[in-house]
Structure 1
Amino acid sequence: MSKDPNKWIFQNKLLKDVENFRLKLKYKGDKTKIETSKILSEAVRTGSLDISFNLNTLPKKKFQKLTSLTKLTMSAAGASELISEIKYLPNLVYLNLTGNYLVNLPFEITSCSALRTLLLASNKFTKVPSYLTKLTLLEELSFEKCELENISGINANVQLRKLNLCGNKISQLPEEFMQLTSLEHLDISDNLLEKLPEDFGKLIKIKELHVERNRLEYLPNSMNCMVKLRVLQIKPNPIKVFPRIWENMIELDLLDLSSLKIEELPAEVVPQLRGFREIILSNNLITALPTELSTLGEVVERIDLKNNPIIKWPITVRQMKNIEFNWSSININNVTE
């Protein structure tokens, strides 16, 4: 019986397809090995590894060959937990885990005892991971846009110089927070804070402070001790009383108290304002200006008082060339001296 030519052609094609598929798999496997080898060699050479967006870029078992790694970025990798292989990286000084789904850190993180920068922004933390206290050399820590409500325990990281807690659900700073006396940059904006601790001024090394978009009604007088402050961002907050904390802030060049709820500019505060280059008080509720404000005419470059319902305005103040005000927003006939 002769063979069916169609059947023979079909079988032959099938064998070729199987062989081609096998070769493709082999090529893919060989290519993966080559790429993995390249990633490993590059990481060893530079001391840096970025596996963002795909945790499978490098097989976990390969981390054992990266003990000299100093910088690791695993942002937006879809991770719900930190890989335990992190324990093989004792020389790590920088770890970026931004944009994952982490709710805690494993015990293995304690093996990274040299860590100085830890970025945990845009994760699912509701409290400070307990093992964080073991990272005693940590200088920079970010929990920006997580879901933190409780920050107890963070005080153990006394070497912190930069701390970002922006965009969380923090309603109060615990008393022990004042132990972070090495802080130079602190961002606690976009939280639920109604007040700052009365001894907040103990953080005397702070150079940059962000407290905007909270529920603060006043700033504690102890902040007068923050003599190194260079950047202060406050607005908006429902602060009604003009803060009296400025006389020692010789590094602060710009005073921006705009978009608050300040109702009065007290005469006794004016001498504290002589060191500023610019003073911005726009979008408040100030109705009266003290005569003493005219003493700032030669020492302050710009005073912005736009969008305030001012009705008492001494003529000596009105004659100041460095004051900005939108006269069209008020009835000039109601202005008194």
Structure 2
Amino acid sequence: MNLFVKHVLAFLLMLAIAPAHWGKAQELKTFTSLKEALKDPLAVKKLTLEGKKLRKFPKVIIKCKNLEELNLNNNWIDSIPREISKLVNLKKLHVSKNRLVHVSFAINGLQKLVFLNLGNNRLRKFPIGLCNMNKLEELYLWKNYFKNIPKAIKGMSSMRYMDLSQNPIPYRQKFIIQKYLPRAEINFW
């Protein structure tokens, strides 16, 4: 086969597979501005508003119906509202290093969620809504104020890793938690 034919075949092959790769690249685009994301909210899959000094959870985020990953780390948010349940495609939620004192029970409406980071907040009560989330695999609750974890965590059947470090959980309670989630790696330290 001559060189010209080889180049033409290589070019045609690239044209055939390129659209699949372009779609994936577009899918992975991370929006870092709420203003930009709201220009075409249905195109937003990943939104990072880390360190934007947000005082409240921006409820307009629910317009991003296809959102799969939301990063609100390093803000001043004090609660996660019930409207969060409208983000039905959300798989990863990062809300560490905020001022959370309350997480709405409605969070259990996020049935596709596999990753949740609520570390370094001001939570005193374990968000009971999490116990019904059967797809949740990774949960980060480090550096909060939990003394007790509810028995209902037994329902977290997909849990593979839970970080409860830097919480004032009594030693005896730690054994009970491990019994409730025998297949999960639990970090208490």
User: Shorter-normalised TM-score: what interval?
Assistant: 0.7 to 0.9
Distance 1:250 1:216 in 2: 23
Structure 2 matches for 1:279-290, cutoff 5 A?
A: 279-282=186-189
Task: Among all aligned residue pairs of Structure 1 and Structure 2, give the percentage whose two residues are the same amino acid.
Answer: 25
Change (3 A) 1:204 1:254: same
Question: One-letter code of the match for 2:159?
Answer: L
Q: Match for residue 211 of structure 1?
A: 118
Question: One-letter code of the match for 1:149?
Answer: R
The answer to whether structure 1 residue 168 and structure 2 residue 72 are counterparts is no
Contact 2:134–2:158 (Cα < 8 Å) also in 1: yes
The answer to whether structure 1 residue 237 and structure 2 residue 144 are counterparts is yes
Contact 1:221–1:244 (Cα < 8 Å) also in 2: no
Distance 1:253 1:135 in 2: 32
Q: Match for residue 5 of structure 2?
A: none
- Aligned to 2:99, the other structure's residue is in SS state coil
Contact 1:223–1:245 (Cα < 8 Å) also in 2: no
Contact 2:31–2:44 (Cα < 8 Å) also in 1: no
Change (3 A) 1:147 1:251: same
Structure 1 position 186, deviation (Å) = 0.6
Q: Match for residue 138 of structure 1?
A: 44
The answer to whether structure 1 residue 119 and structure 2 residue 31 are counterparts is yes
1:195 to 86, 90, 102: 102
Distance 2:76 2:177 in 1: 34
Q: Which has the higher contact order (CA 8 A, sep 6+)?
A: 2
Distance 2:41 2:54 in 1: 19
Distance 1:267 1:167 in 2: 32
What does the per-residue CA deviation read over 1:28-80, in whole Å, with 9 as the maximum and x for residues that have no partner?
A: xxxxxxxxxxxxxxxxxxxxxxxxxxxxxxxxxxxxxxxxxxx9xxxxxxxxx
Q: Where do 5+ consecutive residues of structure 2 fail to align?
A: 1-21
1:224 to 110, 131, 135: 131
Contact 1:195–1:219 (Cα < 8 Å) also in 2: no
| Superposition misfits of 4+ residues, deviation over 6 angstroms | none
Whichever of the two has the greater Rg, that structure is 1
Number of matched pairs: 166
Question: One-letter code of the match for 1:228?
Answer: K
Structure 1 position 267, deviation (Å) = 8.5
